[in-house]
Structure 1
Amino acid sequence: MSVEQRPALVGLAQESIARGSKSFRTASRLFDRETRERAWLLYGWCRACDDIADGQDHGGTMQATGDPMARLADIRARTERALAGQAGLDDPAFAGGALVAAECKIPRRYMDDLIEGFALDAQGWRPQTEDDLLRYCYHVAGAVGCMMAIVMGVAPDDEATLDRACDLGLAFQLANISRDVAEDAAGGRCYLPADWLIEAGIDPADPMAAEQRPALAAVTGRVAAMAARYEDSARHGTPKLPFRSAWAVLAAAGIYGGIARKVAADPQEALRRRLFTSKAEKLGWLLRAGTQAGRRTSLYSPAPRDPSLWNRPRQSARISEA
């Protein structure tokens, strides 16, 4: 990729985030220009991988994917080609991902770990335990949190701050899972731990059965409550960030965390319709996050991380073959 192509790649990545995530687009506006552009480039690569894996166009309803292993191979091949400097405007999302990885010196392990999450889905993997659930959340979101922290200037060897960044990714994915139980079931997927379902008297093969809805709502609320714990932990990493980055992170935490809070407040409703944060709620969190960012060193002291929280792997993790 030539330097001259960078503005075009950034522009296409900006279009991608505008189409794919209103919440993340809103929060990204708070970054300084350089960080904002790099965040868009990283998002564009992650979004493209996700769309290829799920047969989507910037999110939305999952489609039948035909040969999921072929789609996984495509993701890996295009990422490898881009990281080797062989992609440009012919494959802008992947070229943009390689560009931001080079600019920020993002360790390759995090990109590999994200792709491992797509491998799990391609193989029809399902979580059996809470640990399985959190490990999956790491692969599809926690690794992204680590990469985003590095984009914001966190050193790749600052493990304590990367743990907090991972926690935010876990919180976002847990919120997604709690919100999308019905949608996932319609697509033939279930990310609720099988042992939780069995404990609640729910058949893991048919969790949306009408007679099981009250019990399923309770399990859904349990996932949303987990999201809140990881969101709270993530906030304690913001004192290490520049003001504008902390503002963006706290805004995203509030906006996305609002989804989990709505699910926790009424999990039965979450099974009936897709919950979201309104424009007014987003604006409220933008304003509130600015105040929180200004006071972050007093609000979110760098206390030791709760030892009962799940710990991310310290080196590249492959579990799809386990």
Structure 2
Amino acid sequence: MGGGRERSALVRKAHKSIAKGSKSFTVASWLFDKDTRDRSHLLYAWCRRCDDIADGQDHGGELNLEKSSPVDRVEAIRILTHRALDGQPTADVAFDALGQVASETGLTREMCDDVIDGFQLDAEGWRPRTEGDLMRYCYHVAGAVGVMMAKVMGVPADASDTLDRACDLGLAFQLNNIARDIAEDDAAGRCYLPEEWLAEMDIPPGQHMRPQYRGELVKLTKRLIRLAEAHDAAARMGAMHLTFRQRWAVLSAANIYGAIGEEVERQAEIAWDSRVHTGFFEKIGHVIAALKEAISGSFEPHEMPDWTRGKLMVMARMAQPAADIPRTPIRDEGVRPASE
């Protein structure tokens, strides 16, 4: 595994990738023990590389979708991913890193394909019609990654409740990201606000960034953030099943991403004039708050989110193309005599 590369070399490359691509994840991940940190970085390197290939960019730079077919790029991601999982070299460090961490932690092809299916939706120009569509997309691009991260942290495959909570955390992250990035997504011709939500606010399709709809957009953003908060609260309960350092890291990440949503809501109509982010000292404050919660424990949510991992997985499977009809003859076809 690892494409024949030295594991230490893969880890060094992965450290550089996360340091360049995500300051928030970098801060949280350094709270892990060394093995978990290295493995989480190997997984991040694959996620980052897939995202960059799908969008034709480098570590989250300006979107550039004109160089090749988006569908072809996603197919390349899937082929390279499957090669890596099969233990074959891919000539790409990030995919070889996936092969390495998958061999160590039991990540499966199904888990990876769930993530890649999210890139497939973007490549096809898909847009959500309902809240369920939105949550299914969030499952693919973030909830499924949360499940993979739980496996990286050593959560057993049969610990369904903990895996559910890991999915909740990914959903919360993505909902906050969507709230923050509405303007950037619009500039790239994308919109993750459900069409039914827009219709409720009498916002015509593709017009949500126009100044006259800014007040309605703020209301829809609050709706996103309430969803994120519900999944965040559920995720914190799952963190209690992790080791202390893992729990501290996960709660730190939850605090940092939750603060993004809070800031978007606070800025209201000017939230998209510049990209919302948290500064270094703010991140340190969130890490300290997470330490206290890791010690004292998290509050149990008043109610669990409606959108569960099981429900979203069923939706994801139902949305896939129907399997081919088997063409193998029935075992006794042509043998049993026809009845009169």
Question: Residue 286 of structure 2 corresponds to which residue in structure 1?
Answer: 285
Tell me, yes or no, if the aligned pair for 1:52 and 1:75 is still in contact at 8 Å: yes
Deviations 1:269-316 (A, max 9, x none): 2222210111111000111111111222xx345x89716344444577
Question: Residue 306 of structure 1 corresponds to which residue in structure 2?
Answer: 304
Tell me, yes or no, if the aligned pair for 2:231 and 2:305 is still in contact at 8 Å: no
CA shift at 1:174, angstroms? 0.2
Looking at structure 2, the residues matched to 181 and 321 of structure 1 have their Cα atoms a distance apart, in angstroms, of 30
Comparing 218-227 with 27-36, which one deviates more in the overlay? 218-227
Q: Percent identity?
A: 49
CA shift at 1:143, angstroms? 0.2
Question: Residue 256 of structure 2 corresponds to which residue in structure 1?
Answer: 255
Matched residue SS, 2:147:
helix
- Going from structure 1 to structure 2, the CA distance change for 1:201 and 1:289 (only over 3 Å counts) comes to same
CA shift at 1:139, angstroms? 0.2
Tell me, yes or no, if the aligned pair for 1:45 and 1:94 is still in contact at 8 Å: yes
TM-score by length of 1: 0.94
Tell me, yes or no, if the aligned pair for 1:82 and 1:95 is still in contact at 8 Å: yes
Matched, 1:317 2:317: yes
1:1-16 matches, within 5 Å, as 1=2, 5-16=6-17
Looking at structure 2, the residues matched to 71 and 4 of structure 1 have their Cα atoms a distance apart, in angstroms, of 24
Looking at structure 2, the residues matched to 180 and 310 of structure 1 have their Cα atoms a distance apart, in angstroms, of 24
1:1-322 matches, within 5 Å, as 1=2, 5-65=6-66, 66-87=68-89, 90-296=91-297, 299-300=298-299, 306=304, 308-312=306-310, 313-314=312-313, 317=317, 319=319, 321=321
- Going from structure 1 to structure 2, the CA distance change for 1:307 and 1:46 (only over 3 Å counts) comes to closer
CA shift at 1:218, angstroms? 1.5
Deviations 1:203-228 (A, max 9, x none): 12222122212111211221122111
Looking at structure 2, the residues matched to 177 and 304 of structure 1 have their Cα atoms a distance apart, in angstroms, of 25
- Which of structures 1 and 2 has the bigger CA Rg? 2
Looking at structure 2, the residues matched to 150 and 61 of structure 1 have their Cα atoms a distance apart, in angstroms, of 32
CA shift at 1:4, angstroms? 5.9
CA shift at 1:268, angstroms? 1.3
Q: How many residues align?
A: 318
AA in 2 matched with 1:194: E
Deviations 1:65-116 (A, max 9, x none): 431111011101111221122226x311001011111100123211110000
Matched residue SS, 1:74:
helix
CA shift at 1:9, angstroms? 0.4
AA in 2 matched with 1:85: G
- Going from structure 1 to structure 2, the CA distance change for 1:180 and 1:320 (only over 3 Å counts) comes to farther
Tell me, yes or no, if the aligned pair for 1:235 and 1:250 is still in contact at 8 Å: yes
Looking at structure 1, the residues matched to 62 and 10 of structure 2 have their Cα atoms a distance apart, in angstroms, of 26
Tell me, yes or no, if the aligned pair for 2:4 and 2:89 is still in contact at 8 Å: no
Looking at structure 2, the residues matched to 82 and 107 of structure 1 have their Cα atoms a distance apart, in angstroms, of 11
Tell me, yes or no, if the aligned pair for 1:42 and 1:97 is still in contact at 8 Å: yes
TM-score by length of 2: 0.89
Tell me, yes or no, if the aligned pair for 2:128 and 2:195 is still in contact at 8 Å: yes
Looking at structure 1, the residues matched to 321 and 260 of structure 2 have their Cα atoms a distance apart, in angstroms, of 33
Comparing 151-160 with 131-140, which one deviates more in the overlay? 151-160
- Note the residue ranges of structure 2 that are not aligned, 5 or more in a row: 323-340
Looking at structure 1, the residues matched to 45 and 65 of structure 2 have their Cα atoms a distance apart, in angstroms, of 22
Backbone CA RMSD of aligned residues: 1.9
Comparing 17-26 with 306-315, which one deviates more in the overlay? 306-315
AA in 2 matched with 1:261: E
AA in 1 matched with 2:88: Q
- Going from structure 1 to structure 2, the CA distance change for 1:269 and 1:152 (only over 3 Å counts) comes to same
Tell me, yes or no, if the aligned pair for 1:113 and 1:143 is still in contact at 8 Å: yes
Tell me, yes or no, if the aligned pair for 1:221 and 1:267 is still in contact at 8 Å: no
Looking at structure 1, the residues matched to 5 and 141 of structure 2 have their Cα atoms a distance apart, in angstroms, of 32
Deviations 1:12-35 (A, max 9, x none): 001000010000011000000000
AA in 1 matched with 2:319: I
Comparing 154-163 with 29-38, which one deviates more in the overlay? 154-163
Tell me, yes or no, if the aligned pair for 2:218 and 2:265 is still in contact at 8 Å: no
Looking at structure 2, the residues matched to 173 and 93 of structure 1 have their Cα atoms a distance apart, in angstroms, of 22
Matched residue SS, 2:240:
helix
